[in-house]
Amino acid sequence: MRDGAAIAALAEGASVTGTHVYAARLHDMRFRQMEGGLPAPYREEPELERQREVHDDLITRGLSIITDSYLDQAEAQCRSRGIEFRRRSLEGKNYRELAREANTGAYDLLVLGAQGLGAIRGNRIGTVCRRVARRATIDTLVVKDPARALAEGPIAVALDGSTRAYGALLTALALAQRWQLPVHVVAAFDPYYHYVAFRRIAGVLSEQAGKVFRFREQEKLHEEVIDSGLAKIYEGHLAVARSIADDFGVTIQTRLLAGKPHDAIEAFVRETRPSLLVAGKLGIHADDGLDIGGNAEQLLEDLDCAVLLGMREHQPAVDVVASVTTAWTREAEARMARVPSFVRNMARMAILRYAHERSHTVITERIVDEATAQLMPGHAERAIGEIVAAHDAGELARKPPADDALRWSPEAVALLRGVEDLAVRGTLSLRAEKKARQDGSGVVEAVHVRPFLQAAPHWQAAALARLMRVPEGFMRDRSRENIEGYAREHGHAEITLEVAEAGLALARGRCPFGAGGRAGG
CB under 8 Å to 287, separation ≥6 — which residues?
none
- For residue range 382-437, what is the model confidence (pLDDT) as tens digits? 545 555 555 555 554 544 454 456 788 888 888 887 776 665 676 677 778 877 88
CB-based contact 190:260 (threshold 8 Å): yes
Task: Please check the confidence at residue 2 and state whether its pLDDT lies above 50.
Answer: no
Lowest mean pLDDT among 51-65, 161-175, 379-393: 379-393
Percent of the chain with pLDDT over 90: 19
| The pLDDT value given to residue 15 | 81
Mean pLDDT rounded to a whole number for the chain: 76
Identify the bridge partners of residue 185 per DSSP, sorted by sequence position: 157, 254
More confident residue, 173 or 2: 173
Beta bridge partners of 143: 113
Contact in structure between 311 and 139 (CB atoms under 8 Å): yes
Q: Predicted confidence band at 253 (pLDDT cuts at 50, 70, 90)?
A: very high
Q: CA 509 to CA 381: how far, in whole Å?
A: 22
Phi, psi angle pair for 379, to nearest 5°: -65, -35
Residues 437-454 pLDDT 10s: 878 888 889 888 877 775
User: Does this model's pTM top 0.85?
Assistant: no
pLDDT in tens, 226-248: 556 677 778 888 999 998 998 88
- Could you tell me if 371 and 351 are in contact, meaning their C-beta atoms sit under 8 angstroms apart? yes
Query: Mapped to the 3 state alphabet, what secondary structure does 382-438 carry?
Result: HHHHHHHHHHHCCHHHCCCCHHHCCEECHHHHHHHHCCCCHHHHHHHHHHHHHHHHH
Among 19-28, 259-268, 445-454, 479-488, the minimum mean pLDDT is found in: 19-28
According to DSSP, the β-strands at 306-310 and 139-143 are antiparallel
- Check pLDDT > 90 for residue 189: no
* 198 has pLDDT over 70: no
Q: Per-residue pLDDT tens for 323-344?
A: 677 778 888 888 888 776 766 7
The predicted-structure confidence for 30-44, as pLDDT tens digits, reads as follows 555 555 555 656 555
pLDDT at 182 over 60: yes
Question: Is the per-residue pLDDT at 181 higher than 90?
Answer: yes
Strands (E), 136-233: 139-143, 155-158, 183-189
Which pairing describes strands 276-280 and 252-258: parallel, antiparallel, or unpaired?
unpaired
Dihedral class, residue 244 (left if φ above 0, else alpha if ψ from -120 to 50, else beta): alpha
Pairing of strands 327-328, 306-310: unpaired
DSSP, res 81: T
Res. 380: pLDDT tops 50:
no
pLDDT recorded at residue 61: 61
The pLDDT of residue 9 is above 60: no
Picking from 301, 272, 306, 15, the residue whose alpha carbon sits closest to that of residue 149 is: 306
Q: Does residue 267 register a pLDDT over 90?
A: yes
In our burial notation (b when 16+ CB lie closer than 10 A, e otherwise), range 279-307 reads bbbbbbebeeeeebbebbbbbbeebebbb
The Cα–Cα gap between 398 and 394 comes to 7
CA separation (Å) from 468 to 240, 345, 381, 464, 516?
24, 22, 21, 6, 10
